[in-house]
């Protein structure tokens, strides 16, 4: 049997990496933020569209927001504040401002439809949202059905000077990407940053057990659930990755490419918190789907770190200009969110000269549970090794440990594992054992040297570009169409090995219905 007490992965641990972490350095995420901004005060923390904000500027702006939330909006400790925007400078300011005010961050996918947004806000009971003006019209339609009382609106061009004014004009007047809206008693993000009222920030007594984030894991019809991630959960992951990367870090010198959306747990913890703590300059990519513009931005930087999912790396590799980027300083390429194809990893190494390392985890594990040892000379095609203070166990349906090489459910135990699901005790009991194991729903095998590999999935779930898609949600939406009698949804692999959604429907007798009509109907209600 697999000997958990002996932790077989430890014999494969990189030299100099401790097997455990401790919390002596920080008492909360806010404490980490304050100490980090003081340490790297005048260095650039985040860059977007060529404009940078220093750690000190991030500190001041987030303090202004926190003071506004406390004094003007009268939000008390534990209140939820939602963020709905792509990667912009306002995102980290909002995240840190909410946390400094003693509140809980609720991340919302900015691609959500009206229905999906309404469902999540009703579940979280959030009273406040910080939202990009492009999506404000959605709030106008649903606000009466939610607990929302406060709406803070921002624009793409804020913090970007003259360039930003031009961008806002083009988005509003030329591309018509800002639909008209009317929301009573809304606030402008830019005005809050000025703090004309001279609101004073009140220090909040935070513990490691206080909830920091509500991270929704997908599914909005019966399956909606949010992982309650505490300050300890997230801080654990920051400290674990910090220990894991060890000698590969150069504090205050890294340039980290952040193309994954910050509302996703991978980028949230990895870039805006972990590499922030390292003193890195995070280059925020607002629209990574525009590969041409993305590559053009990459050419401007001698980046040292890049994170992404298999789909993103593959799209970069097939761009004709990507190989013209400067990879001379690239030390770490980290993939997660979905399985990485060996062909993509090998091509990445051929072009960049850097090995693509894989990290594994879920929203429920903050997210990283295991990562490839950094510095290997080739792709491992595994999930790597458990991080410090983390255990991985392969178990059968009865919770028994399985032998090396035997397939079973991957279970994770460690300080980064969530507190539970928000207002959903039953779902929490379904995935958490009494002795602290989180059941991932992934089927895997472990080798004798401690490396784990996924071989199947236990949950009826499809992963599209790193995001969870629940078949029953697709089916329920399709069945809302009066011309559809029955519907069934599955995941299929395309020619590149990525998962796609395939929907089967049977028509109501004697009706006319085309596949295009079904697709257009689903677009109204699904991201």
How deeply is 310 buried, as exposed, middle or buried, from its count of CB atoms within 10 A (0-12, 13-18, 19+)?
Answer: buried
In the block, tokens 């004697």 appear at: 510
pLDDT confidence bin for 220, thresholds 50/70/90: very low
> Mean pLDDT of all residues in the chain?
94
Largest CA distance in the chain: 71
- The C-alpha torsion from 113 through 97 and 77 to 222, rounded to 10°, is 20
pLDDT tens for 452-502 read: 998 877 877 788 888 878 787 888 788 789 898 788 888 998 887 788 999
Candidates 239, 246, 252; CA nearest to 208 is 239
Instruction: Please compute the mean of the pLDDT values over residues 241-252 and round it to a whole number.
Output: 92
The reported pLDDT for the residue numbered 54 is 98
Percentage of residues in the chain with pLDDT exceeding 70?
98
pLDDT confidence bin for 2, thresholds 50/70/90: low
The reported pLDDT for the residue numbered 6 is 76
pLDDT confidence bin for 218, thresholds 50/70/90: low
**pLDDT exceeds 90 at position 197:** yes
Q: Distance of CA 286 to CAs 201, 342, 465, Å?
A: 30, 28, 17
pLDDT tens for 11-53 read: 999 999 999 999 889 999 999 999 999 999 999 999 999 999 9
Q: Is the peptide bond before 367 cis (omega within 30 degrees of 0)?
A: yes
The reported pLDDT for the residue numbered 5 is 60
List, in sequence order, the alpha helices (H) in 255-304: 265-269, 276-277, 291-298
The reported pLDDT for the residue numbered 462 is 87
Instruction: Please compute the mean of the pLDDT values over residues 498-521 and round it to a whole number.
Output: 90
The reported pLDDT for the residue numbered 219 is 43
Give the contacts of 396 (CB within 8 A, at least 6 positions apart). Answer: 402, 408, 409
Indicate yes or no: pTM above 0.75: yes
Buried b (16+ CB within 10 A) or exposed e, 201-226: beebebebebbbbbbbbbbbbebbbb
List, in sequence order, the alpha helices (H) in 146-208: 161-169, 189-194
Question: Between helices 515-523 and 471-479, what is the axis angle to 10°?
Answer: 110
pLDDT tens for 323-340 read: 999 999 999 999 998 778
Query: DSSP secondary-structure letter at 173?
Result: I
pLDDT tens for 405-462 read: 999 999 999 999 999 999 999 999 999 999 999 999 999 999 999 999 988 778 777 8
The reported pLDDT for the residue numbered 3 is 52
Give the contacts of 146 (CB within 8 A, at least 6 positions apart). Answer: 118, 121, 122, 126
pLDDT confidence bin for 223, thresholds 50/70/90: low
**pLDDT exceeds 70 at position 390:** yes
Instruction: Please compute the mean of the pLDDT values over residues 189-198 and round it to a whole number.
Output: 96
The reported pLDDT for the residue numbered 17 is 94
């Amino acid at each position: 049997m697999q000997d958990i007490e002996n932790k077989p992965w430890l014999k494969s641990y990189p030299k100099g990496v401790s097997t455990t972490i401790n919390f002596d350095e920080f008492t909360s995420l806010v404490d980490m933020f304050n100490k980090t901004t003081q340490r790297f005060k005048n260095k650039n923390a985040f860059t977007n569209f060529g404009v940078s904000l220093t750690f000190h500027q991030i500190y001041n702006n987030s303090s202004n927001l926190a003071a506004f939330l406390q004094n003007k909006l009268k939000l008390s400790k534990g209140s939820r504040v939602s963020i709905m925007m792509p990667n912009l400078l306002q995102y980290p300011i909002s995240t840190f401002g909410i946390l400094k005010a003693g509140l809980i961050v609720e991340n919302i996918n900015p691609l959500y439809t009206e229905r999906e947004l309404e469902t999540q806000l009703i579940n979280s009971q959030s009273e406040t949202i910080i939202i990009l003006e492009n999506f404000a019209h959605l709030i106008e339609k649903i606000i009466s059905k939610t607990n929302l009382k406060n709406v803070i609106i921002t624009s793409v061009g804020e913090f970007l000077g003259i360039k930003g004014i031009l961008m806002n004009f083009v988005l509003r007047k030329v591309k018509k990407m800002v639909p008209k809206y009317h929301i009573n008693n809304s606030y402008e993000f830019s005005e809050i940053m000025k703090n004309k009222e001279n609101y004073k920030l009140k220090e909040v007594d935070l513990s490691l057990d206080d909830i920091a984030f509500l991270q929704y894991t997908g599914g909005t019809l019966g399956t909606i659930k949010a992982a309650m991630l505490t300050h300890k959960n997230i801080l654990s992951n920051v400290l674990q990755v910090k220990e894991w990367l060890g000698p590969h870090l150069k504090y205050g010198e890294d340039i980290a490419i952040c193309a994954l959306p910050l509302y996703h747990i991978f980028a949230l913890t990895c870039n805006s918190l972990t590499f922030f703590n390292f003193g890195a300059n995070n280059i925020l990519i607002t629209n990574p789907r525009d590969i041409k513009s993305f590559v053009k931005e990459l050419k401007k930087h001698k980046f040292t770190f890049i994170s992404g999912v298999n789909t993103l790396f593959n799209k970069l590799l097939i761009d004709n200009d990507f190989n013209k980027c400067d990879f001379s300083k690239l030390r770490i390429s980290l993939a997660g969110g979905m399985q990485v194809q060996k062909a993509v990893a090998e091509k990445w190494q051929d072009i960049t000269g850097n090995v693509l390392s894989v990290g594994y985890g879920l929203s429920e594990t903050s997210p990283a549970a295991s990562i490839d040892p950094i510095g290997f000379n080739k792709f491992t095609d595994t999930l790597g090794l458990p991080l410090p203070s983390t255990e991985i166990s392969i178990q059968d349906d009865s919770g028994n440990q399985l032998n090396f090489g035997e397939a079973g459910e991957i279970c994770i135990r460690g300080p980064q594992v969530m507190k539970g699901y928000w207002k959903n005790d039953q779902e929490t009991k379904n995935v958490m054992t009494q002795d602290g194991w989180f059941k991932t729903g992934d089927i895997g095998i472990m080798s004798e040297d401690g490396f784990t590999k996924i071989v199947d999935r236990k949950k009826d779930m499809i992963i599209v570009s790193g995001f969870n898609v629940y078949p029953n949600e697709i089916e329920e939406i399709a069945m809302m169409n009066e011309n559809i009698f029955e519907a069934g949804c599955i995941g299929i692999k395309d020619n590149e090995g990525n998962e796609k959604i395939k929907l089967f429907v049977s028509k109501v007798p004697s009706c006319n219905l085309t596949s295009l009509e079904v697709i257009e109907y689903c677009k109204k209600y699904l991201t």
